[in-house]
């Protein structure tokens, strides 16, 4: 990863140059830069539903104020897990303290 010398933003690789999309600064890439680069382009970042059926409710952690979509109760236990790419936010898993309904919430 390369950062702009002018504004500090992350730079992008374009035709052998590092290009800052924030301020337009450009600089030549070094020979070893390509060896250090990785990309998530084309990778499947959605692993699908997560099965929480075998997790003991007592392991799901602290409670928070959130409305249950099933019964309307305003308290649920929650747990946060990194299930997508590392550069994306964590997914929040909730379990209603009243009816035990389980759901998840992602930032979009």
Known binding residues for Zn(2+): 4, 7, 20, 23, 68, 71, 96, 99
- pLDDT at residue 14 greater than cutoff 90: no
CA–CA gap between residue 28 and residue 87 (Å, rounded): 26
pLDDT of residue 46: 67
d(CA 86, CA 21): 22
Q: What is the structure's pLDDT at 32?
A: 63
pLDDT at residue 36, as a whole number: 62
Q: Which run of H or of E encompasses 35?
A: helix 33-36
**For residue 68, what pLDDT is reported?**
93
Question: Tens digit of pLDDT for each residue in 23-73?
Answer: 989 988 876 655 566 666 666 666 677 776 777 656 656 889 999 999 999
Taking the C-alpha atoms of residue 44 and residue 39, their distance in angstroms, rounded to an integer, is 12
Sequence ranges of the binding site? 4, 7, 20, 23, 68, 71, 96, 99
Q: Where in the chain is the domain with CATH 2.20.25.10?
A: 57-105
Across residues 3-23, what is the average pLDDT? 88
- Torsion over CA of 18, 19, 20 and 21, rounded to 10 degrees? -140
CATH topology of domain 57-105: N-terminal domain of TfIIb (2.20.25)
Q: Phi then psi for 23, rounded to 5 degrees?
A: -115, -5
């Amino acid at each position: 990863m390369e950062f702009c010398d002018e504004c500090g933003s992350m730079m992008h690789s374009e035709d052998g140059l590092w290009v800052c999309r924030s301020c337009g600064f450009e600089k030549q890439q070094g020979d070893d830069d390509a060896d250090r680069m990785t990309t998530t382009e084309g990778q499947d970042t959605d692993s699908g539903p997560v099965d929480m059926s075998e997790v003991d409710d007592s392991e799901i952690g602290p409670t928070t104020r959130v409305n249950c979509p099933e019964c309307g109760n305003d308290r649920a236990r929650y747990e946060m897990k990194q299930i997508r790419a590392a550069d994306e936010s964590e997914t929040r898993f909730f379990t209603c303290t009243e009816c035990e309904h389980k759901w998840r919430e992602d930032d979009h």
